[in-house]
Structure 1
Amino acid sequence: MVPLIQPALDASEYRLRPFTLQDAGLVRQASLDPLIPLITTVPANAADEEIVDYIGRQHQRLVTHSGYSFAIADAKTDQAVGQIGLWLKNIDQGRGSVGYWVGAAHRNKGIVSSALDALSTWAIARRDIHRLELYVEPWNEGSWRAAERCGYTREGLLRSWQEVGGLRKDMYMYSRLK
């Protein structure tokens, strides 16, 4: 199977691009965050080898056709500030799923809105995607407000939807249609 080709996407003051080893500092910071390792594949309290493995797994998603994982980078400095991904688990049914995180030092600056709008516009233009979905814990107001700013509609509350940190958590479900 030929690997997917990952583009670089402009996102206002940011750029979505493949992860590089230069992004190890951001991954290390994310691994120390109390929430990011619980809801993503970032390993908690990551050692150097685990960080390199994480970055490698982001590239492997292209090989397995499971999705696209982008580093969100400052367009001027190329410093990575977060991650956003398009996951293709349900692509055979015309659905893609979106997930994202931003390092603690970079939150509340509109980064998620810029990255989510760019990724969603690119993803929904693909022939094989008719619906984008994302899931957000109800307490995470910044994340669900960003989704709403980017044209996502809250479809409801999924009770006990996902295990996070050993506990079943409710999630808001959002969608954006072609």
Structure 2
Amino acid sequence: MSWAESYHGRLRAFAGDEEVLIFVGARCLLRDDGGRILLIRRSDNGLWAVPAGGMELGDSVRQCAVREVWEETGLTPTELAPIAILSGADSTVTNQWGHTYQSHITVFLATAWTGELVTRTDETIDAGWFHPDQLPAPHATSVPALLRLLEHYDRTGEFVAP
């Protein structure tokens, strides 16, 4: 589905460019047995990032995470654990098109999946597995923050919701 057809795309078109909108979605850290994290290279901005996206009407946040991973990688997560929620004023960002969103994002850790990795989709121009200390550049500013959340989760088992 294109951005214009998505719930958030239709909402943005209705509200106009100036309004701050709440964006509800999911990000998914896929970690393999070797401790590597799957990153995708986004087709819209060329940055390496984790699979992520917005909820559609009727989605649960878990369904959103699974759908976004599948759309961007060809993989279907089968074991997901929510590790954090990112929300509030600190989660307000303006994107490359000048649209401002306050995000409410559930971060998941996936440790099992089915399917074969696809490196090119409508939303991605590459994908690969990377050790957290060997991240490709350029990467989204969210990647190091997500890896810190994962490290905290691994160390404490705590779900983070600042």
| TM-score bracket, shorter-length normalisation | under 0.3
More helix by share: 1
Scaled by the length of structure 2, the TM-score of the pair is: 0.27
Pick 1 or 2: higher relative contact order, CA cutoff 8 A, min separation 6.
2
